[in-house]
Structure 1
Amino acid sequence: MAGYENATSDKSRSLPMNSENTRKWAGQYEDMEIPIYKYTIILQGLAVTFLPLLAAAAPVADPEIEADGELDLEKRASAQTCKIVNVDHYVNCRYDAKLDAGAIFGFPKGDKLTFACWKHGDCYNGVCSWDQVTYLKTTCYVNGYFTDSNCSSKKLPKCK
Protein backbone atom coordinates (compact mmCIF):
# COMPACT_ATOMS: atom_id res chain seq x y z
CA MET A 1 0.00 0.00 0.00
CA ALA A 2 2.38 2.62 -1.26
CA GLY A 3 -0.25 5.38 -1.23
CA TYR A 4 -0.90 4.79 2.47
CA GLU A 5 2.79 4.96 3.31
CA ASN A 6 3.17 8.24 1.44
CA ALA A 7 0.15 9.74 3.15
CA THR A 8 1.42 9.01 6.63
CA SER A 9 5.13 9.74 6.20
CA ASP A 10 6.59 12.93 7.68
CA LYS A 11 7.75 14.12 4.24
CA SER A 12 4.23 14.09 2.75
CA ARG A 13 2.89 16.23 5.61
CA SER A 14 5.37 19.01 4.94
CA LEU A 15 4.95 19.15 1.15
CA PRO A 16 2.78 21.92 -0.32
CA MET A 17 -0.49 20.81 -1.96
CA ASN A 18 0.11 20.87 -5.70
CA SER A 19 -0.78 18.52 -8.54
CA GLU A 20 2.11 16.15 -7.85
CA ASN A 21 1.47 15.91 -4.10
CA THR A 22 -2.29 15.55 -4.58
CA ARG A 23 -1.64 12.29 -6.44
CA LYS A 24 0.40 11.01 -3.47
CA TRP A 25 -2.49 11.75 -1.10
CA ALA A 26 -5.03 10.13 -3.41
CA GLY A 27 -3.09 6.86 -3.49
CA GLN A 28 -4.50 4.60 -6.19
CA TYR A 29 -6.40 7.38 -8.03
CA GLU A 30 -3.57 8.68 -10.20
CA ASP A 31 -5.70 11.00 -12.37
CA MET A 32 -7.40 12.66 -9.38
CA GLU A 33 -6.57 16.37 -9.13
CA ILE A 34 -8.82 17.47 -6.23
CA PRO A 35 -7.51 16.70 -2.73
CA ILE A 36 -9.71 14.32 -0.76
CA TYR A 37 -10.45 16.88 1.97
CA LYS A 38 -12.37 18.99 -0.58
CA TYR A 39 -14.77 16.08 -1.17
CA THR A 40 -15.44 15.98 2.56
CA ILE A 41 -16.41 19.66 2.51
CA ILE A 42 -18.74 19.08 -0.46
CA LEU A 43 -20.45 16.11 1.25
CA GLN A 44 -20.89 18.09 4.46
CA GLY A 45 -22.49 20.90 2.48
CA LEU A 46 -24.94 18.48 0.84
CA ALA A 47 -25.83 16.94 4.20
CA VAL A 48 -26.60 20.36 5.70
CA THR A 49 -28.66 21.29 2.63
CA PHE A 50 -30.86 18.17 2.80
CA LEU A 51 -31.09 17.88 6.61
CA PRO A 52 -34.39 19.84 6.87
CA LEU A 53 -35.98 17.49 4.33
CA LEU A 54 -34.85 14.43 6.26
CA ALA A 55 -36.12 15.86 9.55
CA ALA A 56 -39.53 16.60 8.02
CA ALA A 57 -39.86 12.94 6.98
CA ALA A 58 -39.38 11.62 10.55
CA PRO A 59 -42.59 10.12 12.04
CA VAL A 60 -44.19 11.89 14.96
CA ALA A 61 -46.33 10.19 17.62
CA ASP A 62 -50.02 11.07 17.64
CA PRO A 63 -50.74 12.65 21.06
CA GLU A 64 -54.43 11.58 20.96
CA ILE A 65 -53.50 7.91 20.64
CA GLU A 66 -50.92 8.18 23.41
CA ALA A 67 -53.45 9.84 25.73
CA ASP A 68 -56.01 7.06 25.23
CA GLY A 69 -53.43 4.32 25.72
CA GLU A 70 -55.26 2.10 23.21
CA LEU A 71 -53.55 1.09 20.00
CA ASP A 72 -55.88 -1.68 18.71
CA LEU A 73 -52.93 -4.04 18.22
CA GLU A 74 -53.40 -7.75 18.66
CA LYS A 75 -51.00 -9.31 21.11
CA ARG A 76 -48.81 -11.86 19.33
CA ALA A 77 -48.86 -15.39 20.71
CA SER A 78 -45.61 -16.36 22.39
CA ALA A 79 -44.08 -18.95 24.71
CA GLN A 80 -45.90 -19.24 28.05
CA THR A 81 -45.09 -20.54 31.50
CA CYS A 82 -47.86 -22.90 32.53
CA LYS A 83 -48.67 -25.19 35.45
CA ILE A 84 -49.37 -28.88 35.22
CA VAL A 85 -52.98 -29.46 36.37
CA ASN A 86 -55.75 -32.12 36.31
CA VAL A 87 -53.49 -34.97 37.40
CA ASP A 88 -53.00 -36.76 40.73
CA HIS A 89 -49.28 -37.41 40.46
CA TYR A 90 -47.46 -37.11 37.11
CA VAL A 91 -48.42 -36.34 33.52
CA ASN A 92 -46.51 -37.95 30.66
CA CYS A 93 -44.61 -35.79 28.23
CA ARG A 94 -44.57 -37.70 24.93
CA TYR A 95 -42.28 -37.56 21.90
CA ASP A 96 -45.28 -36.75 19.65
CA ALA A 97 -48.83 -35.41 20.02
CA LYS A 98 -50.32 -38.91 20.19
CA LEU A 99 -51.64 -40.90 23.11
CA ASP A 100 -49.67 -43.97 22.04
CA ALA A 101 -46.36 -42.08 21.59
CA GLY A 102 -43.70 -43.06 24.09
CA ALA A 103 -43.38 -41.03 27.27
CA ILE A 104 -40.05 -39.25 27.68
CA PHE A 105 -40.62 -37.40 30.96
CA GLY A 106 -43.19 -37.26 33.74
CA PHE A 107 -44.04 -33.85 35.20
CA PRO A 108 -45.64 -33.58 38.66
CA LYS A 109 -48.86 -31.67 39.38
CA GLY A 110 -48.11 -27.98 40.01
CA ASP A 111 -44.82 -28.04 38.10
CA LYS A 112 -44.28 -24.82 36.07
CA LEU A 113 -42.78 -25.23 32.60
CA THR A 114 -42.30 -22.91 29.63
CA PHE A 115 -44.21 -24.19 26.62
CA ALA A 116 -43.13 -22.88 23.20
CA CYS A 117 -46.13 -23.71 21.01
CA TRP A 118 -49.07 -26.08 20.49
CA LYS A 119 -50.08 -28.57 17.81
CA HIS A 120 -53.15 -30.64 17.04
CA GLY A 121 -53.03 -34.31 17.96
CA ASP A 122 -54.99 -37.11 19.61
CA CYS A 123 -57.83 -35.94 21.84
CA TYR A 124 -58.00 -36.62 25.58
CA ASN A 125 -61.20 -35.67 27.49
CA GLY A 126 -62.22 -33.56 24.48
CA VAL A 127 -58.92 -31.62 24.30
CA CYS A 128 -56.99 -32.16 21.04
CA SER A 129 -54.18 -29.59 21.46
CA TRP A 130 -50.75 -30.64 22.69
CA ASP A 131 -48.30 -28.14 24.20
CA GLN A 132 -44.64 -28.41 23.24
CA VAL A 133 -41.91 -28.09 25.87
CA THR A 134 -38.15 -28.54 25.65
CA TYR A 135 -36.76 -30.03 28.84
CA LEU A 136 -33.12 -31.05 29.27
CA LYS A 137 -32.58 -30.30 25.54
CA THR A 138 -35.34 -32.78 24.61
CA THR A 139 -38.64 -31.71 23.02
CA CYS A 140 -41.86 -33.42 24.05
CA TYR A 141 -45.62 -32.79 24.18
CA VAL A 142 -48.18 -32.60 26.98
CA ASN A 143 -51.90 -32.77 26.16
CA GLY A 144 -53.58 -29.39 26.77
CA TYR A 145 -55.95 -30.97 29.26
CA PHE A 146 -53.03 -31.15 31.69
CA THR A 147 -51.82 -27.53 31.36
CA ASP A 148 -53.49 -24.44 32.85
CA SER A 149 -55.28 -21.71 30.87
CA ASN A 150 -51.99 -19.88 30.21
CA CYS A 151 -51.31 -22.52 27.56
CA SER A 152 -54.41 -21.85 25.48
CA SER A 153 -54.21 -21.83 21.70
CA LYS A 154 -54.81 -18.06 21.85
CA LYS A 155 -51.72 -17.43 23.98
CA LEU A 156 -49.34 -20.00 22.45
CA PRO A 157 -48.33 -19.90 18.77
CA LYS A 158 -49.07 -22.94 16.64
CA CYS A 159 -46.03 -25.17 16.13
CA LYS A 160 -44.51 -25.13 12.66
Structure 2
Amino acid sequence: MRIPPLYRRKGYQRFFAGIVIGFICGWFFFLLSFGSLQEFYMTEIDRRDEEIKDLNEKFKHFREDYEEKNKENEKKLRIQEIKVSFLNREQVGLKGLPLIELENAVKSQLNDVLTKDIESVGQNSNLLIRTLENKNFFIGKETYNVNVYQMHLYTTLRLYLKVERVN
Protein backbone atom coordinates (compact mmCIF):
# COMPACT_ATOMS: atom_id res chain seq x y z
CA MET A 1 0.00 0.00 0.00
CA ARG A 2 1.33 3.36 -0.99
CA ILE A 3 0.52 6.92 0.08
CA PRO A 4 -0.45 8.94 -2.94
CA PRO A 5 2.06 11.64 -3.91
CA LEU A 6 -0.11 14.65 -3.03
CA TYR A 7 2.88 16.88 -2.36
CA ARG A 8 3.33 17.30 -6.12
CA ARG A 9 -0.08 18.84 -6.71
CA LYS A 10 -0.14 22.63 -6.54
CA GLY A 11 -3.59 22.88 -4.90
CA TYR A 12 -2.52 20.78 -1.95
CA GLN A 13 0.77 22.64 -1.71
CA ARG A 14 -1.07 25.97 -1.53
CA PHE A 15 -3.53 24.57 1.02
CA PHE A 16 -0.80 23.30 3.34
CA ALA A 17 1.26 26.48 2.81
CA GLY A 18 -1.85 28.51 3.73
CA ILE A 19 -2.32 26.43 6.88
CA VAL A 20 1.34 26.93 7.88
CA ILE A 21 1.29 30.67 7.07
CA GLY A 22 -2.06 31.05 8.89
CA PHE A 23 -0.68 29.18 11.87
CA ILE A 24 2.41 31.40 11.94
CA CYS A 25 0.32 34.60 11.55
CA GLY A 26 -2.09 33.40 14.26
CA TRP A 27 0.81 32.56 16.54
CA PHE A 28 2.32 36.05 16.07
CA PHE A 29 -1.11 37.66 16.64
CA PHE A 30 -1.53 35.57 19.79
CA LEU A 31 1.93 36.55 21.06
CA LEU A 32 1.27 40.22 20.30
CA SER A 33 -2.14 40.33 22.01
CA PHE A 34 -1.01 38.14 24.90
CA GLY A 35 2.10 40.29 25.39
CA SER A 36 0.11 43.51 25.38
CA LEU A 37 -2.37 42.05 27.89
CA GLN A 38 0.47 40.83 30.08
CA GLU A 39 2.11 44.25 29.95
CA PHE A 40 -1.19 45.89 30.87
CA TYR A 41 -1.72 43.52 33.80
CA MET A 42 1.87 43.92 34.99
CA THR A 43 1.52 47.70 35.08
CA GLU A 44 -1.84 47.31 36.85
CA ILE A 45 -0.28 44.97 39.44
CA ASP A 46 2.64 47.36 39.98
CA ARG A 47 0.25 50.28 40.42
CA ARG A 48 -1.83 48.35 42.94
CA ASP A 49 1.27 47.19 44.80
CA GLU A 50 2.32 50.81 45.21
CA GLU A 51 -1.19 51.72 46.35
CA ILE A 52 -1.15 48.86 48.88
CA LYS A 53 2.24 49.99 50.19
CA ASP A 54 0.95 53.55 50.62
CA LEU A 55 -2.19 52.32 52.39
CA ASN A 56 -0.16 50.04 54.66
CA GLU A 57 2.10 52.94 55.62
CA LYS A 58 -0.92 55.15 56.31
CA PHE A 59 -2.54 52.36 58.31
CA LYS A 60 0.65 51.85 60.32
CA HIS A 61 0.83 55.57 61.03
CA PHE A 62 -2.84 55.75 62.05
CA ARG A 63 -2.51 52.64 64.21
CA GLU A 64 0.50 54.06 66.05
CA ASP A 65 -1.35 57.34 66.55
CA TYR A 66 -4.45 55.46 67.71
CA GLU A 67 -2.47 53.38 70.22
CA GLU A 68 -0.71 56.48 71.52
CA LYS A 69 -4.01 58.31 72.01
CA ASN A 70 -5.52 55.25 73.72
CA LYS A 71 -2.62 55.16 76.17
CA GLU A 72 -3.08 58.85 76.90
CA ASN A 73 -6.83 58.38 77.37
CA GLU A 74 -6.33 55.38 79.65
CA LYS A 75 -4.17 57.51 81.87
CA LYS A 76 -6.89 60.16 81.93
CA LEU A 77 -9.71 57.73 82.85
CA ARG A 78 -11.11 58.40 86.28
CA ILE A 79 -13.53 56.65 88.58
CA GLN A 80 -16.89 58.33 88.24
CA GLU A 81 -19.24 56.10 90.21
CA ILE A 82 -19.21 53.49 92.98
CA LYS A 83 -21.67 50.60 93.00
CA VAL A 84 -21.94 48.24 95.95
CA SER A 85 -23.69 44.86 95.90
CA PHE A 86 -24.15 42.63 98.93
CA LEU A 87 -24.06 38.95 98.04
CA ASN A 88 -25.48 37.46 101.26
CA ARG A 89 -27.90 40.12 102.45
CA GLU A 90 -30.76 37.61 102.76
CA GLN A 91 -28.76 35.33 105.06
CA VAL A 92 -27.78 38.24 107.32
CA GLY A 93 -31.28 39.70 107.25
CA LEU A 94 -30.48 43.08 105.71
CA LYS A 95 -33.58 44.68 104.22
CA GLY A 96 -34.85 48.15 103.62
CA LEU A 97 -33.32 51.05 105.53
CA PRO A 98 -30.40 49.17 107.21
CA LEU A 99 -29.34 47.88 103.78
CA ILE A 100 -29.38 51.40 102.32
CA GLU A 101 -27.55 52.81 105.36
CA LEU A 102 -24.83 50.13 105.12
CA GLU A 103 -24.46 50.76 101.39
CA ASN A 104 -24.14 54.52 101.99
CA ALA A 105 -21.62 53.92 104.79
CA VAL A 106 -19.46 51.79 102.47
CA LYS A 107 -19.74 54.41 99.73
CA SER A 108 -18.82 57.21 102.12
CA GLN A 109 -15.77 55.20 103.15
CA LEU A 110 -14.79 55.07 99.45
CA ASN A 111 -15.55 58.72 98.56
CA ASP A 112 -11.83 59.51 98.44
CA VAL A 113 -11.54 57.20 95.44
CA LEU A 114 -13.99 59.21 93.32
CA THR A 115 -12.31 61.29 90.58
CA LYS A 116 -9.01 59.44 91.05
CA ASP A 117 -7.44 57.93 87.98
CA ILE A 118 -7.95 54.21 87.54
CA GLU A 119 -4.26 53.41 87.40
CA SER A 120 -3.50 54.78 90.88
CA VAL A 121 -6.59 53.12 92.39
CA GLY A 122 -5.61 49.83 90.77
CA GLN A 123 -2.14 50.05 92.29
CA ASN A 124 -3.64 50.69 95.74
CA SER A 125 -6.51 48.21 95.49
CA ASN A 126 -5.13 45.99 98.27
CA LEU A 127 -5.08 48.97 100.62
CA LEU A 128 -8.65 49.80 99.61
CA ILE A 129 -9.80 46.23 100.30
CA ARG A 130 -8.04 46.08 103.67
CA THR A 131 -9.56 49.42 104.66
CA LEU A 132 -13.07 48.11 103.99
CA GLU A 133 -12.51 44.76 105.64
CA ASN A 134 -11.02 46.28 108.83
CA LYS A 135 -13.80 48.81 109.29
CA ASN A 136 -16.84 48.04 111.49
CA PHE A 137 -20.04 49.71 110.35
CA PHE A 138 -22.59 50.68 113.04
CA ILE A 139 -26.11 50.63 111.59
CA GLY A 140 -28.84 51.17 114.17
CA LYS A 141 -28.09 48.79 117.05
CA GLU A 142 -26.13 46.35 114.95
CA THR A 143 -22.46 46.24 113.97
CA TYR A 144 -21.53 44.87 110.55
CA ASN A 145 -18.27 43.87 108.99
CA VAL A 146 -17.80 43.46 105.22
CA ASN A 147 -15.51 41.17 103.25
CA VAL A 148 -14.68 42.03 99.66
CA TYR A 149 -15.61 39.07 97.48
CA GLN A 150 -14.90 40.70 94.12
CA MET A 151 -13.87 44.11 92.81
CA HIS A 152 -14.21 45.42 89.25
CA LEU A 153 -12.29 48.55 88.46
CA TYR A 154 -13.09 50.83 85.54
CA THR A 155 -14.91 54.15 85.32
CA THR A 156 -17.39 52.51 87.69
CA LEU A 157 -15.94 50.82 90.77
CA ARG A 158 -18.09 47.76 91.42
CA LEU A 159 -17.74 46.02 94.75
CA TYR A 160 -19.32 42.67 95.59
CA LEU A 161 -19.31 42.31 99.36
CA LYS A 162 -20.23 39.64 101.87
CA VAL A 163 -21.71 41.03 105.09
CA GLU A 164 -21.12 39.60 108.57
CA ARG A 165 -22.97 40.64 111.70
CA VAL A 166 -20.54 41.28 114.55
CA ASN A 167 -21.85 40.46 118.05
Whether these two folds match at TM > 0.5 is no
TM-score w.r.t. length of structure 2: 0.21
TM-score if structure 1 supplies the norm length?
Answer: 0.22
The structure where helix makes up a greater share of residues is 2
The structure showing larger relative contact order (alpha-carbon pairs under 8 Å, at least 6 residues apart) is 2
Rg comparison, structure with higher value: 2
